[in-house]
Copies of this chain bind each other. A is one copy, B any other.
């Protein structure tokens, strides 16, 4: 399997600026042949799926609840877990790299689960971390959607060569 799966994570509610970023990330992922994984709901997730769909990309939504109808209209493959926030673990584990946009504590939990599993996280206007007063630089910053997608794809390519 040489397909690339990239998760886009972020809040179920977001600003217009964040939605634009997410939509552009989705479009570029699709153009470059990557499959989009997300939590399947609104906000950043919906914007990213809309972008990917508009370019003919594939979108997977791993949902917290019991109903596939809760997926945003651009999710092509709804995965229905019925496991609440525990599904956040599956969102990031199903991806080879994660792009975080904005986001609140749910997003932070996904960033953490990704880093705990050794999955690289690229951040666009998102959390930054420090531990015991020292900055933790695990979240790789990107200035814009293109840079975020470039970095995510490069990291996957590098890892697959290891």
Contact = CB atoms under 8 A, between A and B. Distances in A.
Interface stretch (A20-28, A45-53, A107-115, A148-156): A107-115
B78 A1 contact: yes
Number of copies: 4
A119 B93 CA distance: 25
Contacts of A89: 81-86
Q: Which bracket fits the contact residues of A?
A: 35 or more
A31 B66 CA distance: 28
Interface in A100-139: 102-106, 108-109, 111-113, 115-117, 125-133, 138
Nearest to A109: B112
B117 A66 contact: yes
Interface of A: 1, 3, 5, 35, 60, 62, 66, 68, 71, 73, 75-86, 89-90, 93-94, 102-106, 108-109, 111-113, 115-117, 125-133, 138
Given A62-B79, A86-B89, 13 more contacts: A77-B77, A79-B94, A82-B83, A82-B89, A83-B84, A85-B89, A90-B90, A105-B112, A105-B115, A106-B112, A108-B115, A109-B109, A128-B129
